[in-house]
Amino acid sequence: MPRFQAFLSEAELLFSPESLYQTNRTLRIAASMPFFDMQIVELLAAFQQKPPQLNLNFELTSQPLDLVRGSVDIGFQEGSEVAEGYIARPIGSIESWMCASPDYLAQAGTPRSLDELQHHRILSIASCHGLWQFIRPEKPEEVISLKMNPCFTSNYSQAMLTMCLAGNGITFQPVIATQDLVQQGRLCVVLPEFRGNPHIVYAAVASRLNLSPIVRQLLEFIAQTMPKITSANDITS
């Protein structure tokens, strides 16, 4: 709730009194799966309250976004999947770390090196085809790749998180989506000296031409707020 109130306060700053009466329309918004784990719905909820006349249609998809055919006003997607020709604005990056439940680590042991991960049960996002990429925060330019043999794959990170909490193995998860679980002791960060290679995320529109004021305001709100929720504090030190 405090975080939602902060989002709401930022949304209030974007609107002049006149704009509150010029937004009786529906915005169509589409997002790729990772954005469900990044409080995107909380951001939209805060934005919709100022102005209250605004209607939102939100679609979550695992497919590349077709903004034109889908009549989508704004699409949120990882940079590697933004279609050529769209106007894309970087709004932050997804940082991830390896997590496991205390019960799993008590039973299987805690890996002390990347090589030891090969002897553990791995829960992996399907799109990476078992290839995990790591960086050290102090040397982000050096990317380490490791081919894993996952026992569970999914295109939905929430499914992997559920399996992880059940004690089924080690997974990569967005920091912003799991830091509360780590602080609560329900998850442990595995090999905290390594992080996943960050993914830049974008807000995309089909064209700059004829962008309505409310679309511009939502883009500005997301651009101002998203970096604050993706730059999580390091709670592992």
Predicted pLDDT at 46:
83
Residue 237 lies in a domain: no
Predicted pLDDT at 17:
47
Same domain, 184 and 114: yes
Ramachandran angles phi, psi of 105, nearest 5°: -65, -35
pTM of the model: 0.72
Same domain, 37 and 89: yes
Residue 166 in 3-state DSSP?
A: coil
Predicted pLDDT at 36:
61
Q: Which domain holds residue 26?
A: 2-93+199-230
Strands 74-78 and 26-32: parallel
- Between CA 83 and CA 70 the distance in angstroms is 14
Same domain, 66 and 6: yes
CATH number (domain holding residue 137): 3.40.190.290
Q: What tokens does 149 get?
A: 């043999």
Same domain, 121 and 208: no
Hey, what long-range contacts does 45-51 have (CB within 8 A, 24 or more apart)?
45/4, 45/7, 46/4, 46/7, 46/8, 46/10, 46/11, 47/7, 47/11, 47/218, 47/221, 49/8, 49/11, 50/8, 50/11, 50/12, 50/14, 50/15, 50/20, 51/15, 51/19, 51/20, 51/21, 51/23
Residue 146 lies in a domain: yes
Residue 88 lies in a domain: yes
Same domain, 24 and 141: no
Q: pLDDT tens digits, the chain, 237 residues: what are they?
A: 444 344 334 444 444 444 444 555 788 888 876 566 566 777 888 888 776 678 889 888 777 677 878 888 888 877 555 566 778 888 877 788 999 999 999 999 999 999 999 999 999 988 788 899 999 878 888 899 999 999 999 988 889 999 999 999 999 988 888 888 999 999 999 999 999 888 777 888 887 666 778 888 888 888 887 765 555 444 444
Strands 87-94 and 199-205: antiparallel
Same domain, 102 and 51: no
Residue 236 lies in a domain: no
CATH number (domain holding residue 14): 3.40.190.10
Same domain, 226 and 157: no
Same domain, 82 and 101: no
- Between CA 144 and CA 114 the distance in angstroms is 10
Same domain, 77 and 133: no
Same domain, 53 and 134: no
Same domain, 216 and 143: no
Of 37, 11, 22, 14, the C-alpha closest to 158 is 37
Domain count for the chain = 2
Residue 147 in 3-state DSSP?
A: strand
Ramachandran angles phi, psi of 20, nearest 5°: -65, -20
- Tokens 């609560």 found at: 184
Same domain, 10 and 125: no
Residue 79 lies in a domain: yes
Ramachandran angles phi, psi of 143, nearest 5°: -100, 130
